[in-house]
Amino acid sequence: MTHGTFATALNCMDGRAQEVVVNLVKKKTKVDFVDMITEPGVDKILSLGKNKKLVDWIKNKINISVEKHGSRFIAIVGHYDCAGNPVDEKTHKKQIKKAVEKISNWYKGKKVEVAGLWLDEKFKGNWI
């Protein structure tokens, strides 16, 4: 019995970003399902790493997706007008790139691709 194919999205909890991200990740990866891990301002949380307990909690969830669901793609998402991380687009993109680097290091040698995704003011996605 097959359970389908999976990717993972580390996304803000903002409801405006959920369907958009699922659709963009599915389109990019051709998977059946997207495991959604949400935290307000997840790009900031991961890039700064100040709250070790929260970062470890997120990592545990990613591990479930990668190890139990076989996810081979992880998207790190930041978006315009984020209440949990109210910074400009340039700062978001910098944080997304830093988070991509961090998560990529966690899964070195595991054939897991990590990519950043920015959602603009119209919630149109751009891979970065």
- Give pLDDT tens digits for 53-87: 999 999 999 999 999 999 999 999 999 999 999 99
**Which pTM was predicted?**
0.95
> What's the full length of the chain, in residues?
128
* More confident: 3 or 59: 59
CATH number for 101: 3.40.1050.10
Q: Record the tokens describing residue 75, joined without a space.
A: 């998207």
What confidence score (pLDDT) does residue 2 get? 58
3-state secondary structure of 103: helix
Cβ atoms 40, 82 nearer than 8 A? yes
- Give domain status of residue 54, yes or no: yes
* Count: domains in the chain: 1
What confidence score (pLDDT) does residue 1 get? 39
- Give domain status of residue 1, yes or no: no
The amino acid at 101: E
Helix axes 89-106, 52-68, angle to 10 degrees: 60
Query: What digits encode the pLDDT tens for the residues 9-43?
Result: 999 999 999 999 999 999 999 999 999 999 999 99
Cβ atoms 24, 7 nearer than 8 A? no
- Give domain status of residue 46, yes or no: yes
Domain of 121 in residue numbering reads as 6-127
Instruction: List, in order, residues 6 or more apart from 128 with CB less than 8 Å away.
Output: 93, 96, 97, 115, 116, 117, 118
- Give domain status of residue 114, yes or no: yes
